[in-house]
Chain A
Amino acid sequence: MNETTHTHERSIDYTGAKLGMWLFLFTEILLFGGMFLVYSVYREVNTADFHEAAKEMSLVLGAVNTAVLLTSSLTMALSISAIKRGEKVRSLLFQAATVVLGLVFLVNKYFEWSDHIRLGFYPNSPELLAMSHGKILYFGLYYVMTGIHGVHVLIGAGVICGTFILTKLGKISSNDFIKLENTGLFWHLVDVIWIYLFPLFYLIK
């Protein structure tokens, strides 16, 4: 009797925990949605300037980072199916791979940003302020949107380090993997946001 109640409680908890995570993700979608709104309006008003400014983007770096993030989503998903099957070591390896890929993404971002800063394209720089209004807006949005996205990648990688330790300690196992699954949901959402950022900033021709 006692055990049945317990089981019942846990399965409700499980759905509840996932639902809570999805609700949090919705607030994230709306956070980025607001920025997408600002982007789309300014681009509509300054179409030519946005095309001009986007020429400063490295398509190769953007494409590589897209592939890196998509691959990290794959390893994240694989780590969850591994833990569900009780394959702890495999899950740990896939979690570590996800963190490494997240860091590769951020290192690429660092090279990209430092290139732009060296060329004088940073907020309030004399070079940028001398440019047209639309170009200033493009670079402002570029730094804010990819910056906030980058912070999400950093936080996600940090949380996966946490799930790695919990998995190692056996706190995340085939019996209880909701923490890893919710972390995965967050990681995939960050990937989804990048899927939109990539064409919006790199593929304006």
Chain B
Amino acid sequence: MEQHQETHAVGAKTFIANWIALLALTGLTIGAAELQMGKWSMLANLLIASAKASLVLWFFMHLKYESRLFKLLLLVPIVTITIIIGFTFLDIWYR
């Protein structure tokens, strides 16, 4: 009667651990910026931001417990944006 397969109640511990990791990565990203390494700081910050976004998507947004369909579909906007931004930069850098 109930949605048994979907009733995956993730434990509070997982969420709290995830939250601590997210706060730690926020500290790390501020540290990376303070090092003032110009382009490298920006790259580090974008990688850390993506790691944080992945943690939110994977645990908070339950993607870990979803079917493969959901995981694959997420690639659609990610690939789209990567192509749009990537190709725009190819134009800016090599025109």
Contact = CB atoms under 8 A, between A and B. Distances in A.
A14 B19 CA distance: 27
Interface in A66-100: 66-67, 70-71, 73-74, 76-78, 81, 84-85
Given A199-B46, A199-B48, A203-B30, A70 B6 contact: no
Interface of B: 1-3, 5-12, 15-16, 18-19, 22-23, 26, 29-30, 32-34, 36, 41-42, 45-46, 48-49, 52-53, 56-57, 59-62, 66-67, 69-70, 73-74, 76-78, 80-81, 84-85, 88-89, 92
Given A3-B1, A195-B49, A203-B30, A73 B60 contact: yes
What DSSP secondary structure best describes chain A's contact surface? helix
Interface of A: 3, 7, 10-11, 14-15, 18-19, 22-23, 26, 29-30, 33, 36-37, 40-41, 44-45, 59, 63, 66-67, 70-71, 73-74, 76-78, 81, 84-85, 174-175, 181, 184-185, 188-189, 191-192, 195-196, 198-199, 203-205
Contacts of A71: 19
B6 A11 contact: yes
Contacts of A67: 23, 26
Contacts of B45: 199, 203
Nearest to B59: A77
Nearest to A34: B84
Nearest to B26: A66
A84 B49 CA distance: 30
Nearest to B10: A81
A71 B81 CA distance: 28
Nearest to B61: A188
B9 A26 contact: no
Given A19-B70, A22-B70, A199-B45, A81 B33 contact: no
Contact of A36 (B5, B9, B15, B81): B81
Given A11-B3, A22-B70, A199 B33 contact: yes
A149 to B, nearest CB: 14
Contacts of A29: 77-78, 81
Max chain B C-beta neighbours (<10 A), residue from A33, A59, A181, A205: A205
A30 B80 contact: yes
Max chain B C-beta neighbours (<10 A), residue from A45, A59, A184, A203: A203
